[in-house]
Structure 1
Amino acid sequence: SPPTEEAAKLTEPLTKEDLVAYLASGCKPKENWRIGTEHEKFGFDVETLRPITYDQISAILNGLSERFEWDKIMEENHVIGLKQGKQNISLEPGGQFELSGAPLETLHQTCAEVNSHLYQVKAVGEELGVGFLGMGFQPKWALTDIPIMPKGRYEIMRNYMPKVGTLGLDMMFRTCTVQVNLDFSSEQDMIRKFRASLALQPIATAIFANSPFKEGKPNGFLSLRSHIWTDTDNNRSGMLPFVFDDTFGFEQYVDYALDVPMYFVYRNKTYIDCTGMSFRDFMAGKLPQVPGELPTLNDWENHLTTIFPEVRLKRYMEMRGADGGPWRRLCALPAFWVGLLYDDESLQSIIDMTSDWTKEEREMLRRKVPVTGLKTPFRDGYVRDLAEDVLQLAKNGLERRGYKEVGFLREVDEVVRTGDAFRTLLFT
């Protein structure tokens, strides 16, 4: 949805301490930790199998609004999303349909939310001849076949992406993901969770790999979506080696984000192209596009959404390593990370397991897992061996939570047991 604009200008310019304090304001006591799940899916015309146009998407959004009482989000004269309570429906650049779920207490609530959303989308979509597909990469159509959504920030990104990598347009128009957003209690808790989840992100990529086709043929990858991020824009993606430095904390993430090139500034309901400039420049009033103007915390919040590492820090943490998938996997992904990160014992086990992994080993996993998945060699075994241990830790963590949530991980049991993510998907 379009960002909000702060009506009143700040009386004092923002300092770096303000930006650090913004991230730190996400700290919450454990009883207030929540689970926020987001997933994207491809819409297609049932008759032609072609990607759906903006007109078809607009009809779906209007139908959902009328029938299920969602409020419309507009940009200029276009409906570009929906809002209901703390849930949002939004459009990715190529019309991928995204649900950003509310912050919920249990995985049962998360799965109920996913099911309710898919029921609504299916009910409206069927009448319009539209179906939806959960995969990590558009399996059939070329980049030139994908319609472009009428959203200002995507126009800026579309022009910028080819300047900084070869696969950025594929990322924008032909990929889908599922991610979970999780809380932390303190800076130290954030550091532990960041290191554990960043090290394990390739393991999640392997377990949830689901993008082996491109333009109707096998593409040589198990997760082409994951591979695409390795050449999208390396200034704003990747495995963030500095997270494992002894000095890491909120301030180091702020330093990183200050130097990530900006995409835009949002003023007067318009996206102003600021590509190539840094937020550091903005803090000094040196953006040529808005001369002398200084940023607000809203600008900082918007900028943080344009950074795409495998784990992203806002006032919560986003797990970004998994391909989109069918509905049961949309519940399994948050179950996996909640079991690992919301249980002290499992989290400590992960930190112990990964603490001697080198930067080179983490980068190797990030690079090779998209190709060979669970069969990727690691030390004296394979990623599948790691995945078995990690999946058991996730189950143990869920057991100790006491909400009877372990069943949500059954969906990936067979994947890890056989070491074959996609064959399991085809035959279950």
Structure 2
Amino acid sequence: MKNRVVITGLGVVAPNGVDVSEFTDALKTGKSGISFHQNLKDLNFSCQIGGIPNISEALKSQYFTDLQLRGFNSSGILYGCIAGIDAWRDAGFDMKPDSDVDYDTGLIFGTGTSGVEKFREAIYKLDEGLVRRLGSTVVLQTMASGVSAYLSGMLGLGNQVTTNSSACSTGTEALLMGFEHIKNAKAKRMIVGSCSDHGPYVWGGFDAMRVMTYKHNDQPEKGSRPMSASASGFVPGSGAGALVLESLDSAVERGATIYAEVLGGAINSGGQRNGGTLTAPNPEAVQHCIKNAIRNAEVEAKAIDVVNGHLTATAKDTLEIENWTKALQRSGIDFPYINSTKSLVGHCLAAAGAIECVASVIQLKEQFIAPNLNCEDLHPDIERLVTKDNIPLKTLELNFDILAKASFGFGDVNACVLFKRFMV
């Protein structure tokens, strides 16, 4: 007998909201988190806008001790710990430094790169021969698993603790890995999510690839334009999303608030064949991933009411919509409603999947669809596949039950998960 898996806690650090309440309000009102950054202009970036969460020193002190913050310079780990602790508290648990080890709870928290600013700082010190002044936390702040190491220690978690990394699909993949762990009775609870650093040393490579927009430096909120005919590349973002997954039996036993149920999903790779490359998806594999997710969730494609897409505001948006229509065998007016959280926060890279999973669950719980900003000029190739009515430009209140969320990443990797509204 496999366990049913539900979501009992949410945490988010996004460019347009640094807690669930603020983020929910931003989703409902269509508030953008994209702004201009002078340092990017000074460094001759083509794209000088981006999404960076607003974290004050006072907020940091609510999660970290003065000792922990001494020499701390890793934004991704900071974001991940705040989101993870918020999700843990939202699920009804406390953070106690002297607590017993919780062997029933594990953690899978992903990232792309970790502590880039800290690593740069260390390089300069080493080049100056100051190896003894690197500090005792430089390794923790720059190793890939730094976020899971910090967060699991702050919460005293004793089940599996690990960090995954699969480019833009990292967060959705982490959720599905945690789901399988609970489904197979290897843990009662899993904190899952992902995070991403911000700044020029993370974003510079993408600017060099010319995949980020350069046309909206004077109008930042107009820059992120998924599915738009005038889309000219993605806007970089950063932050973290976290979810507490729990067996239904455990959640019911302790009277927890249940946001939604995870029905199932799928993870795969296109093998960089049939059009797939290091930076482009294999369409056949994407369709396989969506179909397998639906089959594993034990629902029919026609039951999907809403899709939260990957949709980055690049030339691949049309291909993604085409893949959805083929995988679901639904097009035109029969296609589900679809939106892109990236129109509000930009592309948060390794954090994208987790932030967008949080956004998906919020929309399902609150029964609304967040708007697609800047999509008034829907791409004509997309309009030939689905109707404009399925791509809401304003917040839409809707009674719906099942939402599909997918993420696709560099390396030709894919992840898709299905969430269901939980009814007592």
TM, length-normalised to structure 2: 0.23
Structure holding more helix per residue: 1
TM, length-normalised to structure 1: 0.23
Greater RCO (CA < 8 Å, at least 6 residues apart): 2
